[in-house]
Structure 1
């Protein structure tokens, strides 16, 4: 059970007979673009690249229905039409399969447990600015990839909470071993100690090797960033998602008993090192819940997400679910200089 939980610019749009129609969104809901009789999804997206990117810039997310995406290769072809540069995942917190450059399976996570709101790789120095989610097979129940506007979440959070995190930032602590959580190879692309240390130095991560050969890391990141294009302040972090109090209680109790409070696969703290209390994590997740928009997946759907403007989550589900994610267009929003070092 525990291993299942943690491991494992082109020409402007040309007129076309099937140009696609945009469904006016309900208040607070992102738009849906309807495609009809599509024989080549990548070509359809390529012709409409500017329109799609404009919708993402305006709303933070747009869903395209009717593309008939069936395989990871279909998603890879669409990615190259709508994005400039795929992103190779590093510092993964859970295992996933790599289908192509920048194209991955969903993270391994028990279907009966939700994944809370977060921004993909918000703890890395360089993160993807654009995400593509493609539903190859929908679940029979639940399993939506829900979204929330991070600028609206920031405005709704208590001012004193925001002030402290904006002033101090946040800390992510991680413990890597061969039993729980992502392995060195899954997170860093290698298990060579020298290569891992070089990556940590270049990416402002403090590290220490434990007597048993396992690795512990600690990295300081900003909790609030300005969007690189709009300049809007956004609540951009994984403070709540990767915190011990978001784990299922029985999982947290087992991990603390087995590995100790400092040996959890991941945990978050205030920027000065103080623990983040359970009530603060609950506050953050309550605000996320109030700003969550969800839409059931249909087979072949595509969702484009501005990773800084929009947080996303995955609901619990039943039945099969095959949602592929693509990471693209890296940015370095408000990141510190690289000062990673070996911990004392």
Structure 2
């Protein structure tokens, strides 16, 4: 019996998104209705299906404000999380609802799982489209289990066995200042956070901060037991920069002072051919669809990676997170 047949009240319908397969599963109201009036049915589908398909798209519930989106995310019973130890610029817009990464419209943000560059990450992440771009602006997604399975075994084994060391240099006009990344002006607070989260830190001669943290390359989902590709090596590595930008940065600041880079856990270099392979696999797994105004997408952050395409015109997608993994 399907999930839809198990819904006691026919307030919603469930379907695949045309031509895209099971990810994301689409939930829609049978007739125009506020999500609150059918939340029990929505929750029943999500509880039954999210950890199977990895992500759902709620469409047609007419969510128009950040506060309404926040209420929806909080309705699942977990306190929403702050963006601690941030790696990209974003702004708080309502409670613990944030803008999506504030990179220029011409810039692609590659597929990644939220905060997979740390040992602490949210299990749930929500996105809400409040303003649809004139062109583009998708939030592509991909199944992290599929990515794991398609990575060549020898590449996957190297990453799994050796783990990853993320190196970050904050500020100096090249990346987030440490005050923004850690949401504090206190060096003591930064040091305390780093000590609590197994992050090595160093205050450099110019007063700026360098951190190093060894993290997982893959992970096992705590409830499904499935293995997932779960890191941001392809995004943090200097090879993710355009060649001329990379050369210029290294010539100015040196490799040790790049805003961000990643190595194997022992500090040795990652073969760029391996990272190219990872990027190709991710591209092959990508699922892309256009936002509609008021759409909400809910992902299991370990099972599904997300990205951002280029766009034209104004675009507003906001984000909330919950349920820390530890």
Query: What band does the TM-score fall into relative to the shorter chain?
Result: over 0.9
Is contact 1:171-1:220 (8 Å) kept? yes
> Does the C-alpha gap of structure 1 residues 39 and 19 become closer, same or farther in structure 2, counting only changes over 3 Å?
closer
1:67 deviates by 1.6
Q: Which residue of 2 aligns with 1:5?
A: none
1:311 aligns with 2:305: yes
- From 85, 94, 98, the equivalent of 1:104 is 98
Is contact 1:148-1:292 (8 Å) kept? yes
1:277 aligns with 2:271: yes
Is contact 2:129-2:292 (8 Å) kept? yes
1:28 deviates by 5.5
SS in 2 for 1:30: strand
> Does the C-alpha gap of structure 1 residues 237 and 24 become closer, same or farther in structure 2, counting only changes over 3 Å?
same
> Does the C-alpha gap of structure 1 residues 125 and 151 become closer, same or farther in structure 2, counting only changes over 3 Å?
same
- From 150, 154, 158, the equivalent of 2:148 is 154
Is contact 1:23-1:34 (8 Å) kept? no
1:94 aligns with 2:88: yes
Q: Which residue of 1 aligns with 2:11?
A: 18
- From 259, 262, 281, the equivalent of 1:268 is 262
Is contact 1:165-1:271 (8 Å) kept? no
1:24 deviates by 6.6
What CA deviation, in whole Å up to 9, does each residue of 1:99-143 have, x standing for no partner? 234311011112111101111011222210011011001111111
Q: Which residue of 2 aligns with 1:183?
A: 177
For 2:245 and 2:49, the matched residues in 1 are separated by: 40
> Does the C-alpha gap of structure 1 residues 182 and 45 become closer, same or farther in structure 2, counting only changes over 3 Å?
farther
What 5-or-longer segments of structure 1 have no aligned partner?
Answer: 1-12, 333-344
Matches within 5 A, 1:324-339: 324-332=318-326
Q: Which residue of 1 aligns with 2:48?
A: 54
1:151 deviates by 1.1
RMSD: 1.9
For 1:127 and 1:313, the matched residues in 2 are separated by: 17
For 1:23 and 1:46, the matched residues in 2 are separated by: 21
> Does the C-alpha gap of structure 1 residues 24 and 119 become closer, same or farther in structure 2, counting only changes over 3 Å?
closer
Is contact 2:85-2:182 (8 Å) kept? yes
Is contact 2:12-2:27 (8 Å) kept? no
What CA deviation, in whole Å up to 9, does each residue of 1:133-187 have, x standing for no partner? 1100111111111111111111111111111111111110000124121122221
1:43 deviates by 4.3
Matches within 5 A, 1:93-132: 93-132=87-126
- From 212, 226, 230, the equivalent of 1:236 is 230
Is contact 1:49-1:81 (8 Å) kept? no
1:90 deviates by 0.9
1:253 aligns with 2:247: yes
For 2:257 and 2:77, the matched residues in 1 are separated by: 38
1:45 deviates by 3.4
1:192 aligns with 2:186: yes
For 1:189 and 1:195, the matched residues in 2 are separated by: 9
For 1:158 and 1:14, the matched residues in 2 are separated by: 41
1:255 deviates by 2.3
- The TM-score normalised by the length of structure 2 is 0.92
For 1:224 and 1:14, the matched residues in 2 are separated by: 36
- The TM-score normalised by the length of structure 1 is 0.88
In the alignment of these two chains, the number of paired residues is 320
> Does the C-alpha gap of structure 1 residues 16 and 189 become closer, same or farther in structure 2, counting only changes over 3 Å?
same
Is contact 1:42-1:77 (8 Å) kept? no
> Does the C-alpha gap of structure 1 residues 235 and 21 become closer, same or farther in structure 2, counting only changes over 3 Å?
closer
